[in-house]
Amino acid sequence: MPVYEYVCNDCEQSTEAIRRMADADEPMVCEHCGSKRTQRALSKVAISSGSPDFCPPSGCCPCGDPGGPCNT
């Protein structure tokens, strides 16, 4: 199940909850002040691609092999 973030309209604190997608837009009870005046927030997403040991095919690899791992 996905993790959703909710922001309280009273104390402005964030609360995270694991919920079914069908329940995602239902109000949450704020874990900080107990208010039911919360709304779902847009969460930040971190995406990573590639490996730090991967040399791009542009020929800029210090080891001289444009498609191989850098061992320097």
In this prediction, residue 54 carries a pLDDT of: 54
d(CA 63, CA 72): 6
In this prediction, residue 1 carries a pLDDT of: 83
pTM score: 0.57
In this prediction, residue 63 carries a pLDDT of: 61
Compare 7 and 62 and report the one with higher pLDDT: 7
Domain range for 8 is 3-40
Structural domain count, the chain: 1
Task: Of 2, 63, 10, give the one whose Cα is nearest residue 33.
Answer: 10
Residue 63 lies in a domain: no
In this prediction, residue 36 carries a pLDDT of: 93
CATH number of domain containing 33: 2.20.28
pLDDT tens sequence across 16-64: 999 999 999 888 899 999 999 999 998 666 666 655 555 555 555 556 6
The single residue listed with the structure tokens 């730090």 is: 52
SS3 sequence of the chain: CCEEEEEECCCCCEEEEECCHHHCCCCCCCCCCCCCCEEECCCCCCCCCCCCCCCCCCCCCCCCCCCCCCCC
